Amino acid sequence: VHGAEFSTLSEHSTAGEVQTAYEHLQRVDPDMAGRLHPKHARRIKRSLEVYYHMGTPHSKILEHQATHELRYPNHLVLMLDAEKEVLNRRMDRRVDKMIKCGLLDELTQLHNSLPNQLPEHYDGILQAIGYKEFDPYFNATENRDLVWEQCVESMKAHTRRYANQQRQWVRNRFAIHPHLQLYTVDSSNYEQDTDIHCPTSHWWQEVVTPAVELCSDVLSSRPLRHSDRRLCVSSPAEDTSNRHCDTCARTITGSKQWREHLASKRHRKQVTYLKEKPLWEERKRQRLNQPNTAGPAQCETTL
């Protein structure tokens, strides 16, 4: 086995194919398999690719990356950030600008260059944000203007979600490295500026100045200023191992999701059902075993 049989694994693979790949991952990298949901085809495929291409379990590589000293100890990482509401508005305006700059023409050209018969589910660049959302528009035969607006809103929603996922990844995965010096500069207010090059502007005061001062401190080997801007994760990383709920017959990945599952209405309802099920079955058995004392006429009426 060299992993070639898993190269076509995707989110649209059959349950049996995903299960086979997951069982194989359990054999070659049990630690990584314990972190991944058994149905998450894309991540299972990625871990198998790493194992066969690198010759090392994916979990070992991630463990090394999370604990080893950085290649350049005298470093600085700057993250241009903004408040979530501000960032969402910028994402929406970005999509509007793409449309004004000819997104429809580009999509039409790409659509016309594709084969007439595409599989129902396809991967690669066709899964990128900005194309798959407009599939309904190209397939619509009526109300195309309405469908277009719905596609645009779908693209905006997916763009906002992706940006939020990136921010979460930085905080939950990237920033947890013990030797990383990651600082944020807030660009939330720069849109209020009439001239961002003015030294008194929000952009200059809240982005440029602290960034230059931090870089200067690193190059001069001085203690870094703006300690309030350092993005640190003081609490330990969230446990991402799998837990199986026998009550609900579900596999849950991560301690946070596990806590949410235990507190969910669905889980509590299932607990109550299983607790009372023996009593209900006993009552049903007793009713079935009761002798029928009704006369023939009464039985016929009852039936």
Tens digit of each residue's pLDDT (9 = 90 or more) over 98-118 = 999 999 999 999 888 877 655
Beta-bridge mates of residue 77: 182
Beta-bridge mates of residue 230: 183
What average pLDDT score do residues 34-58 get?
Answer: 90
**Helix (H/G/I), strand (E/B), else coil: 78:** strand
In the chain, % of residues over pLDDT 90: 34
What pLDDT shows up at residue 297?
53
Q: What is the DSSP letter of 286?
A: H
What average pLDDT score do residues 6-22 get?
Answer: 80
What pLDDT shows up at residue 123?
62
Q: What is the DSSP letter of 141?
A: S
Packing angle of the helix pair 41-54, 58-67 (nearest 10 deg): 80
123 closest CA partner among 41, 212, 34 = 41
| Helix or strand run (H / E) with residue 108 | helix 103-113
What average pLDDT score do residues 30-37 get?
Answer: 90
Does residue 178 register a pLDDT over 90? no
pTM over 0.85: no
Does residue 71 register a pLDDT over 90? no
What pLDDT shows up at residue 237?
54
